Amino acid sequence: MYHANDKRYKSMNYRRSGRSGLKLPEISLGLWHNFGAYATEENARDMLRTAFDLGITHFDIANNYGPPPGAAEIMFGRIMRSDFAHYRDELIISSKAGYLMWEGPYGEWGSRKHLIASCDASLRRTGLDYFDIFYHHRPDPDTPLEETMSALDAIIRSGKAQYAALSNYNPEEAKEAFKLLRELGTPCLIHQPKYSMLCREPEDGLIDACEKAGVGVICFSPMAGGLLTNRYLNGIPGNSRAAGDSPFLQSEQITQKLLSVLKGLNDIASERGQTLSQMALSWVLRHDAITSALIGASNSAQIIDCSKAVGAARFTDDELKKIDKLVETVQI
């Protein structure tokens, strides 16, 4: 039987999510590509154990994570039952609904039908009694926002989840959703946008909107899909995401200009005594409004490397200016 490291809570820092009572680890683990049907359960189990031993208490999944959709929840559910059932009260587990999950008119977006049916199915796949956090994964341009938010409210009130959350909403959509949830009596806990040194969109109003509303921010892809690691410093490795058929990182994005920027960023990281991935995480966490950085990983060594970003030295003004100057022409 797995027994977690007794010192796990001494190696991680925890931040309060907005004005809620919930604290999340500065580094959280996302279970997307590497928990699908092609992943090995042995590697997935090793990554989850490694993460928890390092004080990473938050595991993030979604109904459509795989491939195929649902596979990550099934894999996680098996490992949860075999290894983590006796640690359930120490874990924050989130799932989401909104992207295409099944055929027909109710298989995606933001209707009450989709969200509640999807939450029920996700609970069955994971074998959990409840999720700690349940997200609407993306805004729906056709369903009234009142309906989507009332569905989240119903999920919380039914006990199927403890906190409501949003992902991929723009600032104006987020402000209105925060208002509706607050009026329903189920305040939004946290918003999950894509944010990194190479993707600065949330700085255009979203982070401020979350901060003013007392909503936490957990950023996904803080390492820009692997670009902000050492993998691409010398071009495109054969086993990388960009070398394959991934729609999220394509080979044509890896330009000579970008490679030059990555090498410049790596030089700054080295001067700070960090790897590029560690600096990328420290950079998003520099902002007090950011609750947690959500990482993906292929193996436990990557999780260990990322965990070393916790407690890193604060950036100097000169370092931040150098980073801004390097990345200003290569936003992705």
**Domain spans in the chain, listed from the N-terminal domain onward:** 8-327
Query: How many beta carbons lie within 10 A of that of residue 110, not counting itself?
Result: 24
Percent of the chain surpassing pLDDT 90 = 87
Are 221 and 194 spatial neighbours (Cβ–Cβ below 8 Å)? Answer: yes
Mean pLDDT of the chain: 94
- Secondary structure element (H or E) that encloses residue 161, with its range: strand 161-167
Q: Residues in the chain, how many? A: 332
pLDDT of 322 > 70? The answer is yes
Nearest Cα neighbor of 296 from 44, 48, 95, 31 is 31
Q: What is the pLDDT of residues 51-70, one digit of tens each?
A: 999 999 999 999 999 989 99
Percent of the chain surpassing pLDDT 70 = 94
Q: Would you tell me which CATH number, out of the four given (3.30.360.10, 3.20.20.100, 3.40.50.2300, 3.40.50.300), belongs to the domain 8-327?
A: 3.20.20.100
Average pLDDT score over residue span 120-141: 98
The SS3 of residue 130 is coil
Question: How many whole angstroms separate alpha carbon 190 and alpha carbon 217?
Answer: 5
| pLDDT at res. 248 | 55
Task: Show the tokens assigned to 69.
Answer: 């959709």
Q: What is the pLDDT of residues 193-218, one digit of tens each?
A: 999 999 999 999 999 999 999 999 99
pLDDT of 243 > 50? The answer is no
> Residue 320 to residues 225, 257, 261, 283, 310: CA-CA distances in angstroms?
21, 20, 14, 9, 18
pLDDT of 254 > 80? The answer is no
pLDDT class of 1 with cuts at 50, 70, 90 = confident
